[in-house]
Chains A and B, each alone.
Chain A
Amino acid sequence: QVQLQESGPGLVKPSQTLSLTCTVSGGSISSGSYYWTWIRQPAGKGLEWIGRIYTSGSTNYNPSLKSRVTISVDTSNNFSLKLSSVTAADTAVYYCARETVAGKYNWFDPWGQGTLVTVSS
């Protein structure tokens, strides 16, 4: 059973780069038809899709964040998120998730437990 776990600094200063890693266990990140995805949720608010990377390495990003986001696969069974020039508006719980590719009906499952990132000086 695949499991995902986010890790990274819980506090980032304004204008710096937020960096998070998602460790995948129970399966290989490079096999199967999956996108590896980042989603965030500000406190008390809804979910926002940040972007994804396919097993081939191709990426898609939320247009509102595209200029600041990079998602990549690491050499080990991890994938990472980098969000540059952060502000307080980027404070949120960040989730990683696996998106199963099934034609036009993809879905996110499973999800990591989430990690809170606060942007503050």
Chain B
Amino acid sequence: QSVLTQPPSASGTPGQRVTMSCSGRSSNIGSHFVNWYQQLPGTAPKLLIYRNNQRPSGVPDRFSGSKSGSSASLAISGLRSEDEADYYCATWDDSLSGWVFGGGTELTVL
């Protein structure tokens, strides 16, 4: 069982906006920034969002992140078929003195 809680699945149609959540506690999300990773089928994870809401160069502005208290969210607007992937949140946990991940949300574009 993952330290951070993510819904196992999400879906949307092309052009829609979808959001996915990541909940933790004061020792992790409540105290640290959250990063999001996108894992396309059969590939390695790729950095999607860092420091809660920053996009690395090359990541479309359709992707946005936010954090409030001990929870974080990833939003994808203008959904496209190539967005079908698993999305993982991650942050540092002071209690464990290590990085923790969510269990991942599998996004399906209908």
By a beta-carbon cutoff of 8 Å, the part of chain A in contact with chain B is 45-49, 51, 60-63, 95, 102, 104-114
Q: Which residues of B contact A49 (CB under 8 A)?
A: 98-101
User: Top 5 nearest A-B pairs by Cβ distance?
Assistant: A49-B99, A109-B47, A105-B33, A107-B50, A105-B51
Question: Is the beta-carbon distance between A108 and B35 smaller than 8 angstroms?
Answer: yes
Q: Which residues of A contact B2 (CB under 8 A)?
A: 46
**Closest approach, in angstroms, between the C-beta of B100 and any C-beta of chain A?**
7
Interface residues on B, range: 20 to 34
Q: Which residues of A contact B97 (CB under 8 A)?
A: 60, 63
Nearest residue (CB) in B for A106 is: B92
Question: Is the beta-carbon distance between B44 and A114 smaller than 8 angstroms?
Answer: yes
Nearest residue (CB) in A for B46 is: A111
Question: Is the beta-carbon distance between A95 and B51 smaller than 8 angstroms?
Answer: no
Best-surrounded residue of A46, A49, A51 (most CB of chain B within 10 A)? A46
**Closest approach, in angstroms, between the C-beta of B106 and any C-beta of chain A?**
10
Q: Which residues of A contact B35 (CB under 8 A)?
A: 107-108
Question: Is the beta-carbon distance between A46 and B47 smaller than 8 angstroms?
Answer: no
Question: Is the beta-carbon distance between A108 and B47 smaller than 8 angstroms?
Answer: yes
**Closest approach, in angstroms, between the C-beta of B56 and any C-beta of chain A?**
7
Partner of B33, one of A45, A51, A104, A108: A104
Partner of B88, one of A46, A60, A61, A105: A46
| Interface status of B20 (Cβ within 8 A of chain A) | no
A114 vs B46: C-alpha distance when bound (angstroms) = 12
Question: Is the beta-carbon distance between A60 and B32 smaller than 8 angstroms?
Answer: no
A111 vs B104: C-alpha distance when bound (angstroms) = 17
Partner of B44, one of A45, A51, A113: A113
B window 36-89: CB within 8 A of A: 37, 43-47, 50-52, 56, 88
